[in-house]
Amino acid sequence: MAVWARTSDPHLMYKLSTQLPEACRPISFLRCKSSRYETYTIVLKSITHIGRRNYLNRSCRIDFSLGCTQLQSRALSSDGNHNNYTTSKRMHPKPDQSKSYKETKRPNYERWEVRDCQSVDALLQTTIDKFNVSPPSTIAAVWSYFPTLLRNNHSNTAQQEDVSEKEHKIAYLIHQTLRKLDVFRPKELATIISSLAKILQAVQHQASYKQKSASHQAFGNILLDDNSNPNPQIFDPLAQESQSTIHKFDARCLSNLAHAHASLLYNPKLQNGYLFDSVAQAALPQISHYNSQGVANTLWSFAKLGVCHSQLFQQMGDFVIFSGLLDSFKPRELSITLWSFATVKEEHKVLFQKAGDAVFTTIDLNEFQPQELSNIVWAYANMGLVHPKLFDAIGDHISTLSNLNSFAPQALSITVRSFASSGHCHPALFRKVAQEIVMKRGDLHSFASQALANTVWAYATLNEPYTELFERVAHAIIDQGRLKKLNPQEMSITIWSFATAGMEHNTLFQMVGDEIASRGDLREFGPQNLANIVWAFATATVIHRDMFQTIGDSIVKSDGTMRAFKPLELANTLWAYATLDIHHAELFNRVGNFIVDQGSLEQFEPSHISIIAWSFAKASQSHPKLFASIATAISQRDNLNSFKPQELVNVIWTYASMAEANADVFKSIGDEILSRDLSSFTAQNLSNAVWAYATAQIDHPDLFHKVASAIIESDRLQSFTSQAISNTLWAYAKAQVYHPGLYKIAGDMLMETDNLNSFSPQELSNLLKAFAAANELRPAIFVKFADTIVGGKKLESFTPHGISTIGWCFAVADVNVPSLFNERFIEVIAQNELTFPKEGLAQLHQWHLWQAKEQTGIGLPNELKIRCQQVFTEGEVTISSFQSDVLKELLCIGLNPIEEYLTDSGYRLDALVEINNDKVGIEVDGPNHFIGRKPSGSTVLKRRQVSSLEKMVLVSVPYFDWYEFGCDRDKKQQYLCSLLRLDAGSL
């Protein structure tokens, strides 16, 4: 058999003819021309195999790996006839797949010791000179030795000509290697790819390879493309060859192949799909052949590239557990394995449980490197898995070390963040890390901004507020000019952490606010970061109006931005604006419209609904459609079990504050509160609940009685703030719900308090109004209030309405305190004469009547007195059906009542009759005249003042008596006769 080869390169043809072994020298050397190119042809002697190298296989294809542009072969039979064979389109045909590499013989080559070369230049030149006589194993060894030489090459005086010359040599060597890929065994192929990855790691060790030696620059120029990514012209053919022969890779080769590409961050898409898909499919049948290092490296490779092959991860996890391989894992391998599962979010609870058990029971933690420990706790935290014993063991180990010098800043940061993410508090660990950072890490230059942000986040989350640590971080950001370099997430996390930990640092907040306001375009921040930032400022009560305006404008500019917000982020953003009382009507309107346009609030959790509603009310931003949507969402729920007490109360507080008295909402929430154990409600919750019903004028007496009973039975009033006490009692008075026990314990507590100076003027006037309106008139309480107003609270600190309320309440209680009601009181009234509301002027009229009756010599100036009486008598006259019914029956018993009789003192009586020449006033007292069935304070004052000033008897017809008679007119008439002491038999 004989063959011939054709090439257009005469030098290559000559090299081919001279370098072949003697037994394979050409028998002829021909030159021919064609219209396209010149070719040179040689005809070889009959030969099939020489040595280990397969020059001629059964299909008569020649594989010289010498760059032939066209290759054909022809067999000569014994009779001289030519049998034509069509060669493969592949430039370098693959060896016979029917035989293994071990069965295929290779030609004898000149073996030489790669490590005799002491420099990159020497290795390059030697390899080029001996490439064609070097076996594949030696070529693979050459590539594996380059990383070592590069690491030992410290020269940085690269000349351009040196770089260019080396580039040519490296390119030639790579070119030649790629041309003979099909003769490399899987191990050799994996070695070459791994070596190239290591070369690139050496090149990229510094920020720019141009700062390195000529060798580093040359390798970088060849192996990297214009975007500093692995050059696909080099790495794709390697990957393609690997994919084509992947079925012949054993476990170790597969592991090395995956690890190399992961190191390059390169997962090329090839003819048969992505490389790592092929690696996974090839690895699955061989999992039982993997050792601990192979498992760890393979999983790390997939995780590093973000490739989650669930079947591979699960089967490798099962194999580690059930084969007993876990016992042979080294610390680094165990750390990498757990990290890999967590990175791709592939859950394997049994593996994590067993691995955690192994760490704290059988492995000496001193064998772990700091990064390995941090990676382990990070893996558990990232997967949301809890292993308290493991975390305790690691925390104890780190906190008892003599020093943490071996911990890199990132390891320290990841460790504390992972503990915080897992909710695992370990004070000793956090104390140790804080001391290390504050006392030994100087100005924190070695900490990346992300590490600083994660560190303070951890301490804030677990409520471990080490003030000096936070101060040091703030100074590092401010003094080192890091603020402008912080990315949005780092800025957001940092400022959130300071706010959550309660760390005041106005300078840092102001600088962050200035920086954000100056940027204008905030699209890079994203919804979560924007929401966290405004929330942090509101929590820290730092007002930066320019920043809030910029953020609000940024949100409303684009509908896309609004749609990107999650419900919680919307809620927190509105909450921040409302809490700091920063007006941005367009923001609230757009958010309200956006929520309404959703059509359903199913994606909004109770906390989101509660916060959003509260924010609109706090900011005084009306949005009827939004409130209607919220009402619909609440009324359509089967139950409100998912609402926390605070959330229930916030909703009704909102509707009351915004005068949205939606009966369905109040009934649903009121019934829900009734069904609950009120021990879960805070004092503020209870106070706000009754305040809301009273303000909205929604009757729910059962709710009021249950709240009062809960306060009394658990003696909870001591936990109420001054505002909560005043609002609660005011609500009971306003809602006309009488609960004597509540007023008694409230009065007792007020009397036992050393002084009432902790109460604001508004709270004091509300308390007075509550006691007076409820007709709970303990003189000692009023005297104590008077002493507080005179001794601690100046009258000038009260609003005009508060001043008139004070006068009215003491008139109701009929408790005159000269130290309060004197010329000074009149002076304060005169100073506010033009600012009193109508209700206040009416109250002053009643106070003046009381003072006149008491003959104290203190009264209103004449002009103001006339004005007050005029307002008092101007009230709109309405006659109820109850009043008409009583008047009709009065006529029937022979009386001639005068309706709506106006007395000299300014009071109007429902009716006035004459009996035995004596005037008798009749008051038709409906529900509004009572607290329960006890006359209200205003009713008591009217009865007392009319009787004393008008010198007449005043008779009350209470509604609860009258309604008992139903339609029985006889009983009604007999009842009136009894009240008026008339003889019923004469009717």
The verdict on residue 950 lying in a domain is yes
Which residue type occupies 941?
Answer: L
DSSP string, 542-608: ---HHHHHHHHHHHHH-HHHHHH--HHHHHHHHHHHHHTT---HHHHHHHHHHHHHTS--TTS-HHH
689-to-482, 674, 696, 774 alpha-carbon distances in Å:
47, 12, 11, 19
User: Quick one: 827 and 890 in the same domain?
Assistant: no
Helix (H, G, I), strand (E, B) or coil at 159: coil
User: Quick one: 847 and 770 in the same domain?
Assistant: yes
At residue 790, φ and ψ (nearest 5 deg) are -75, -40
State the Cα torsion 241-247-249-251 to the nearest 10°: 140
User: Quick one: 860 and 958 in the same domain?
Assistant: no
pLDDT of the residue at 862: 94
Q: What is the pLDDT of residues 213-227, one digit of tens each?
A: 888 889 999 999 999
Cβ-in-10-Å burial (0-12, 13-18, 19+) of 533 comes to: buried
pLDDT of the residue at 478: 93
Helix (H, G, I), strand (E, B) or coil at 379: helix
- Tokens encoding 589: 């309107």
pLDDT of the residue at 876: 79
| pLDDT higher than threshold 60 for residue 578 | yes
User: Quick one: 840 and 782 in the same domain?
Assistant: yes
Q: What is the pLDDT of residues 43-98, one digit of tens each?
A: 443 333 333 333 333 333 333 333 333 333 333 333 444 333 333 333 333 444 44
The verdict on residue 747 lying in a domain is no
- Last residue of some domain: 875, 901, 921? 875
pLDDT of the residue at 25: 41
pLDDT of the residue at 161: 62
The verdict on residue 560 lying in a domain is no
User: Quick one: 852 and 965 in the same domain?
Assistant: no
Res. 36 pLDDT band, cuts 50 70 90: very low
pLDDT of the residue at 635: 87
Res. 763 pLDDT band, cuts 50 70 90: very high
Mean pLDDT of 753-768: 91
- Last residue of some domain: 875, 899, 932? 875
User: Quick one: 819 and 931 in the same domain?
Assistant: no
User: Quick one: 972 and 926 in the same domain?
Assistant: yes
Dihedral sign from CA coordinates of 943, 946, 949, 951: negative
Res. 163 pLDDT band, cuts 50 70 90: confident
User: Quick one: 889 and 978 in the same domain?
Assistant: yes
What is the tally of structural domains in the chain? 3
pLDDT of the residue at 107: 60
Mean pLDDT of the chain: 87
The verdict on residue 387 lying in a domain is no
Strands 38-44 and 934-935: unpaired
What does DSSP assign to residue 779?
Answer: H
The verdict on residue 930 lying in a domain is yes
Q: What is the pLDDT of residues 645-666, one digit of tens each?
A: 999 999 999 999 999 989 999 9
pLDDT of the residue at 31: 36
pLDDT of the residue at 58: 31
User: CB of 112 within 8 A of CB of 131?
Assistant: no
pLDDT of the residue at 100: 41
858 vs 83, more confident: 858
Res. 885 pLDDT band, cuts 50 70 90: very high
Cβ-in-10-Å burial (0-12, 13-18, 19+) of 979 comes to: middle
Domain range for 766: 753-875
Q: What is the pLDDT of residues 122-149, one digit of tens each?
A: 999 999 999 999 999 999 999 999 999 9
Mean pLDDT of 178-200: 95
Choose the weakest-confidence range: 50-54, 100-104, 250-254, 579-583. Answer: 50-54
Mean pLDDT of 467-489: 93
Res. 211 pLDDT band, cuts 50 70 90: low
pLDDT of the residue at 160: 62
User: Quick one: 816 and 919 in the same domain?
Assistant: no
pLDDT of the residue at 724: 95
- Last residue of some domain: 844, 860, 875? 875
Instruction: Kindly report each contact of residues 33-40 with a partner whose C-beta sits within 8 Å and lies 24 or more positions away, as own/partner.
Output: 37/8, 38/8, 38/10, 39/6, 39/7, 39/8, 39/70, 40/6, 40/7, 40/8, 40/9, 40/10, 40/13
Cβ-in-10-Å burial (0-12, 13-18, 19+) of 506 comes to: exposed
User: Quick one: 870 and 928 in the same domain?
Assistant: no
Strands 908-915 and 898-902: antiparallel
| pLDDT higher than threshold 90 for residue 714 | no
Mean pLDDT of 144-161: 76
Distance CA 913, CA 931 (A): 27
User: CB of 105 within 8 A of CB of 52?
Assistant: yes
Q: What percent of the chain has pLDDT over 90?
A: 77
Res. 159 pLDDT band, cuts 50 70 90: low
User: Quick one: 764 and 858 in the same domain?
Assistant: yes
Q: What is the pLDDT of residues 262-315, one digit of tens each?
A: 999 999 999 999 999 999 999 999 999 999 999 999 999 999 999 999 999 999
User: Quick one: 835 and 903 in the same domain?
Assistant: no
The verdict on residue 715 lying in a domain is no
Distance CA 462, CA 422 (A): 10
What does DSSP assign to residue 644?
Answer: -
User: CB of 512 within 8 A of CB of 533?
Assistant: yes
Q: What is the CATH number of the domain that holds 900?
A: 3.40.960.10
pTM, 2 dp = 0.77
693 vs 791, more confident: 693
pLDDT of the residue at 755: 78
- Tokens encoding 726: 């005043």
The verdict on residue 793 lying in a domain is yes
Mean pLDDT of 757-764: 92
pLDDT of the residue at 636: 86
Distance CA 287, CA 164 (A): 46
pLDDT of the residue at 370: 95
The verdict on residue 322 lying in a domain is no
| pLDDT higher than threshold 80 for residue 969 | yes
- Tokens encoding 939: 């009713």
DSSP string, 128-142: HHHGGGS-HHHHHHH
